[in-house]
Amino acid sequence: MIRVLVVDDSPSVQELLVQVLGADPAIQVLGCAADGEQALEMAARLRPDAITMDLHMPHMDGYQAIRRIMQTCPAPIVVVSGCADRAEVEASFRAIEAGALVQVHRPYGPGHPEHEASARALVRTVKSMAEVRVVRRWAPESQRTPRAGGAGRGRRLVLVGASTGGPAVVRDILAQLGQEFPLPVLIVQHISAGFTQGLADWLAQASGFPVAVAAHGQLLAPGTAWLAPERSQLAVTRELRARLSLGAPEHGMRPAVSHLFRSVPAELRAASVAVLLTGMGKDGAQELKQLREDGAVTIVQDRASAAVYGMPGEALRLGAAQLVLDPVRIGKALHAIANNPGRSLALLGY
């Protein structure tokens, strides 16, 4: 039985969430908190397996509550967002920065044509996140690395795949790259529909590195991180242009890391650096191994810093990774590799 604490200051929203979650026989709703202070007290006393969190509450808001819970009595936290406007999307990513795992849209009420689908999405997310082993979380202290000279001719592109817990990790990596990073960075981040542009805006603001959502045919210019748009598979051509398609989901995902990694043309594989970060499942692991065999530099996130060690753990099991690093060291490694063309990993200190 998955024990869940609901946190929201609206009685009607509390009632809706309790109804949706309680309808699943595998979930027990332990109770409802109406503000952050009450949420902190109940989380410490009840030790739930997962928490749904509103952000805008009196006394102690959701951001403070998330930080305090992750510092004192860690639990998987799912941010339940009421709308998809820019301010709300940005708020959701600030919550992930504070320690939440993922965000999901609030279910529509009974009678709405999307009620069933949105209710299933919440239940599925809460049940998945309840499986995540979380640890005490403290505010990150990341500093940007100044740019080192170099034309980056040894490498042509960087590929990054991430899922649960990924946004904050991607932010930490991008913050290390410097203002004139000489390569394009292609990112597949599994995320709820409606949040991709908000993720791009938040990453750019939080990391200081340019981030945009890739469009079909887009020239993937260096010095920018290009996010895969939602509901599309992202591939890269030999001319370093984005190719989007409605190809079938892989590992249940579209966009999928596997699709991006596999799409790298043969002549670009040895000129690529591929990174696999926190996430559930196996998306990208087999393809990372193939990239390594074809000459790419391959990196996975270390276990200690990952919210979920499914994807990087599977890559390690397959022997796909040359380097295993925490997020800041991944960023520094990318910076060193891109700005020191022709130098081996050993000469770079890896």
pLDDT in tens, 107-116: 999 999 999 9
Mean pLDDT by 10 residues, the chain (350 residues): 97 97 97 96 97 94 94 94 74 87 92 94 94 65 39 76 95 94 97 90 95 97 96 96 95 97 96 96 97 96 93 96 96 94 82
Residues designated as active site: 163, 190, 283
Give the pLDDT score at 259: 98
Predicted confidence at residue 85, as pLDDT, reads: 67
Q: Per the confidence metrics, is the pTM higher than 0.85?
A: no
Which pLDDT belongs to residue 233?
Answer: 97
The pLDDT value given to residue 63: 93
List of domains in the chain: 2-129 (3.40.50.2300), 157-339 (3.40.50.180)
pLDDT at residue number 84: 63
Which residue bears the tokens 């998330």? Answer: 66
pLDDT at 321: 95
pLDDT of residue 145: 39
- pLDDT tens by residue, 248-288: 999 999 999 999 999 999 999 999 999 999 999 999 999 99
